Amino acid sequence: MFVTISVVLMAIVAVLAAVSAVALVAKVCGGSFRKFFMKGLWALLLPPAVMLYGMIVERNIYNVKRLEITSDKLPASFDGYRVVHISDIHLRSFRTRYNSLSHAVAQINALDPDIVLFTGDLVTAEPSEMDSLETILAGLHASDGVYSVLGNHDYCIYNRWPSDSVRQEAVKEVIRRQEAMGWKMLMNSSVSLVRGADTVSVAGVENISQTSYFPSYGDLDSAMSGARGAFKILMSHDPSHWKKATEQYPDIDLTLSGHTHAMQFTVFGWSPSSFIFDEYMGLYFMDSGRSISSVHRHKVVQDAANMLYVNIGLGETAIPARLGGARPEITLITLRSSGAVSNR
């Protein structure tokens, strides 16, 4: 944080120098120095001021989004089942923000989740980012446990290693330390959630991306091989995998993803992520072969097939700030059974 503030202060000094130079030129040309200086100052100081606000304030205000999904495939015994979806913690961005991460964990626990699903990118580059922070994350509680998949950053590819074998050991350490926190890793595998005679399946696939820039280690066939529940949830870090996944397995009812961060910047629901990702934040469903975003229109969704939810993450990469509506996100998804709802 000290380095970040220093950079911002240096930028402000540079802005003042630039504005003064322009104002002096204006005065030489017969204009008012004070008038040009003040106008230029406001115009040039606003962007760094907004950035500083995003660094100090916005990134520490957690946005708890609540969504209710009703499905005729969900067994009545799971009616009201509470899923908390989190993603992209990027622990490097919390190295000096222990209290902020503790606050996020407390907010999640206060939602009284039945299950917590984390869709990848726990670290940014290396397992040492977990030092002193894993004890905080170990405090997450849910009656059916905390489950996790790997994101592209969890493969530690954004660091210089002596060899690829050393990098692979780093990945194993990321996995081991998550398991030591009590998190259950879904490595191209699934788990069955049971209520009486009813089952809901949660499958987790390693990262699969539609671009070669990001690593793809996922095996969807293996992940889905044991998923025999009446209602199926897929955890897949990169939302670009969603369409192919549901084409291959049309019985996937809900896919949970992260990855995009909405580029940590949104304005009235729009993000520059839209130039890169077809699906970049919120809820989507398929209609006539194309994805439709419904998150800005509905908080309650009924009987939509092959849904996708993209969580914009808790942490940051590159720029340690969040701006506009892109505050760090905790998503509470309450599942409703159509049969149970109609009988009320």
Average pLDDT, the chain: 87
Q: Which of 15-29, 102-116, 163-177, 217-231 has the lowest mean pLDDT?
A: 15-29
Q: Which fold has domain 63-342?
A: Purple Acid Phosphatase; chain A, domain 2 (3.60.21)
Report angle CA 62, 65, 150 to the nearest 5 degrees: 75
Q: What percent of the chain has pLDDT over 70?
A: 81
From CA 54, how far away is CA 322, in angstroms rounded? 5
Q: What is the pLDDT of residue 342?
A: 46
- What pLDDT is recorded for position 19? 47
As given in the structure block, the two tokens for residue 181 are 């926190």
pLDDT at 9: 46
Give me 339's structure tokens.
Answer: 């049969």
Residue 277 and residue 270: Cα distance in Å, rounded? 12
Residue 142 burial (CB count, 10 A): 19
pLDDT at residue 21 tops 60: no
**CA quadruple 195, 187, 114, 232: dihedral sign:** negative
What's 8's DSSP letter?
A: H
**Is pLDDT at 135 greater than 80 in this prediction?**
yes
Q: Look at residues 92, 9, 87, 70 and name the one whose alpha carbon lies nearest to residue 45.
A: 9
Between residues 53 and 270, the one the model is more confident about? 270
Nearest partner of 157 among 134, 145, 174, judged by Cα = 174
What are the tens digits of pLDDT across the range 273-317?
A: 999 999 999 999 877 666 777 654 456 677 678 899 999 999 999
CA distances for 298 relative to 67, 258, 293, 302, angstroms:
8, 20, 10, 10
Sheet holding 307-310, edge to edge: 189-195, 198-204, 231-235, 254-257, 307-310, 282-287, 290-293
> What is the pLDDT at residue 215?
85
From the list 162, 87, 86, 175, the residue with the least C-alpha distance to 127 is: 175
> What is the distance between the terminal CA atoms of the chain, rounded to a whole angstrom?
52
- The domain limits of the chain are 2-55, 63-342
pLDDT digit string (tens) for 177-214?
999 999 999 999 999 999 999 999 999 999 998 877 88
254 close to 307: Cβ distance less than 8 angstroms: yes
| CA pair distance 307, 304, nearest whole angstrom | 7
Pick 324 or 141 by higher pLDDT.
141
Kindly tell me the burial class for residue 227, based on how many C-beta atoms sit within 10 Å of its own C-beta (0-12, 13-18, 19 or more): buried
| 134 phi and psi angles, rounded to 5 deg | -65, -30
- The DSSP call for residue 240 is G
pLDDT at 27: 53
* Whether pLDDT at 23 is above 50: no
User: Is the Cβ–Cβ distance between 321 and 328 less than 8 Å?
Assistant: no
CA separation for the pair 207, 85 (Å, rounded): 17
* Residue 166 predicted with pLDDT over 70: yes
Q: pLDDT tens digits, residue range 69-128?
A: 999 999 999 999 999 999 999 999 999 999 999 999 999 999 999 999 999 999 999 999
